Amino acid sequence: MDERHLLLLGLLLNQSQHGYSINEFIEKNLGHVSGMKRATAYALLEKLETKGLVQMETETSANYPPRKVYTITPAGRAAFFALLQQYLLATGEGSSATDIALMFADRLEHDRAEALLRERAARLRERIKELGSTPAHAHAPGVDLAVQRKLALLKAEVAWIQDVLRRREGGPAAATPGNRLTDAIGETSEQR
């Protein structure tokens, strides 16, 4: 399973939903995080149902054609939390998995979310160390630029994680008291 499964399971955590409403939400609100197409979402929902992670029921209404309603199962909840923790720690390149996992980080107990972020920062520091030991490429300066860019991005993420944790612990620009990791972010999308 991948981050697309995490996204679908996460969207079903609070309530059962029609496939149409899931797709509408993804398209309107998460286009910058996930480029999942409708057909892909429906195919993945069917696979999740086959695996017993979601349950599908057909709902009929007098004014509407029959609609499929998806509900997360207990096995689906367990899979969601396993995927969430996996992708919060993943430091691989080229994927939106971490962004999707961060969207649901507040579903974890606060201490667990903090521990995962600390572990992520440690893993990123290891990657920084590995990349930092890459020899210079005198005859291919573009390679050096790519390595420098990756190092800068990794260092920026470590700094961001440290800032989130510092604010959560009551450091500079401390967040409002609460028990969720997202309290540490300190600003809403309207304030940005």
> Which one is the CATH code of 3-80: 1.10.10.10, 3.30.110.40, 3.40.50.1240, 1.10.150.120?
1.10.10.10
Kindly state the greatest CA–CA separation across the chain.
72
Which residues is 69 bridged to in the sheet? 18, 57
Task: Quickly state the pLDDT bin for 171 (edges 50, 70, 90).
Answer: low
pTM: 0.76
Number of helices (H) and strands (E), helices first, in the chain?
Answer: 7, 3
Give tens-digit pLDDT for 37-67: 889 999 999 999 999 999 999 999 888 888 9
Give tens-digit pLDDT for 90-142: 887 656 889 999 999 999 999 999 999 999 999 999 999 998 988 888 877 88
Q: Is 56 helix (H, G, I), strand (E, B) or coil?
A: strand
Average pLDDT of the residues of the chain: 86
Query: Tell me, what amino acid is at 148?
Result: Q
Percentages helix, strand, coil for the chain (3-state, rounded to 5) are: 60, 10, 30
DSSP 48-98: HHHTTSEEEEEEEETTEEEEEEEEE-HHHHHHHHHHHHHHHH---SS-SHH
Instruction: Break the chain into its structural domains and give their ranges.
Output: 3-80, 108-184
Task: Quickly state the pLDDT bin for 177 (edges 50, 70, 90).
Answer: very low
